Amino acid sequence: MAGKEKQPKIITDKNQMRTWTRGMRSQGKTIALVPTMGFLHDGHLSLIQEAHKHSQLVVVSIYVNPSQFAPSEDLSTYPSDFEGDIRKLMAVPGGVDAVFHPHNLYDYGVESARVCAGNAGGYGEMPAVSCLEESGSGHETWVRVERLEKGMCGRSRPVFFRGVATIVAKLFNIVEPDVAVFGKKDYQQWRIIRRMVRDLDFSINIVGSEIVRDADGLAMSSRNVRLSPEERQKALSINRSLSKAKSAAESGELNCKRLKNLVFDEVREAGGELDYVEIVEQENLEVVEEIKSPVVILIATWFGKVRLIDNMEINI
């Protein structure tokens, strides 16, 4: 530890952030952005190591984006530990060069951008659809990737991908990176961001980074800390069942209904309350009935009060 660790520059103002990037770029540096909501774990740190492969400088953003949460969701209890995050970032090989940690990216100085706390309902006449109030002169511009956002997590979390695509577009315009790294654990999100970048002509290379799992196989997530030891044990059925389905497919079982049932049965038996299990094309996320080309099997399931997602690519 000690002297060799790099202290990242901490930037909270969006104009300062852009000035920093532009200054670095004028010196010929390339910049990668790793967007996060903080409470960093080894999964995030692997994104940073991936980022180092693609650019000279790495910026990590830490911002819990209210617009991707519905009022019924867990914005108010979303875990955070900024000081711990900075310590972890300093310990990553190569460190990070800047941390962008804004207070509120929806405050335009015209009126205070209100964010709902906990399970609050709507403000005024309109029922809130996200934890960001939309009225008067407040934020009202949304980026939607209309087909890719529809199924799976988009069905159970109707404002989620709208909020994600919009905040990522904002971060891209503020940080102006050359490269941005996203985890393939959030597979649908990763595909949505890639499509958005293509369709809106952002000049940013989107890199997908592989899922990082704990030794027991559970995919890393900030939400895992909320699992009781028993729930965690049960949640291992997710990775186990995905691996089984993958093996079965590789052994010639190409019928998606039967493959999905393998996963369903194993996770249900372990006590998981399934949101969805889906087998889809890797790029367009179109539902597949019989595997003929590379696909990905995706799952979302509740264990207790925690919703977990995971996926596995099957390259046949």
Active site residues: 44
Q: Binding string, 72-101, against a copy of itself, x = CB under 8 A? A: ------------------------------
Q: Does 148 bind a copy of itself (CB under 8 A)?
A: yes
> What is the rounded distance in angstroms from the CA atom of residue 154 to the CA atom of residue 171?
21
Q: Does 144 bind a copy of itself (CB under 8 A)?
A: yes
Q: Does 165 bind a copy of itself (CB under 8 A)?
A: yes
Q: What is the DSSP letter of 123?
A: B
> What is the rounded distance in angstroms from the CA atom of residue 9 to the CA atom of residue 153?
35
Write phi, then psi, for 301 (nearest 5 degrees).
-150, 150
Write phi, then psi, for 16 (nearest 5 degrees).
-65, -35
The minimum distance between CB 154 and a copy of itself, in angstroms, equals 13
Instruction: Work out which of 6, 53, 198, 258 binds a copy of itself, going by CB under 8 A.
Output: 198
Q: Does 33 bind a copy of itself (CB under 8 A)?
A: no
**Interacting positions 96-125 with a copy of itself (CB under 8 A):** 105, 108
Region of residue 109 (left: phi > 0; alpha: psi -120 to 50; beta: else): left
| CB half-sphere exposure, 64, CA atoms < 13 A | 19
Question: Is-contact 231 302, C-beta < 8 A?
Answer: no
Rg of the chain on CA atoms, in Å: 20
Among the residue ranges 30-38, 78-86, 136-144, 307-315, the one whose residues contact a copy of itself (CB under 8 A) = 136-144
Among the residue ranges 165-173, 213-221, 249-257, 289-297, the one whose residues contact a copy of itself (CB under 8 A) = 165-173
Question: Is-contact 169 200, C-beta < 8 A?
Answer: yes
Instruction: Work out which of 141, 229, 251, 257 binds a copy of itself, going by CB under 8 A.
Output: 141
Among the residue ranges 74-82, 171-179, 236-244, 288-296, the one whose residues contact a copy of itself (CB under 8 A) = 171-179
Q: What is the DSSP letter of 73?
A: S
Question: Is-contact 303 235, C-beta < 8 A?
Answer: yes
The minimum distance between CB 65 and a copy of itself, in angstroms, equals 13
Q: Which residues bind a copy of itself (CB under 8 A)?
A: 14, 18, 26, 105, 108, 134, 136-137, 139-148, 165-166, 169-170, 173-174, 176, 195-196, 198-203, 283-284
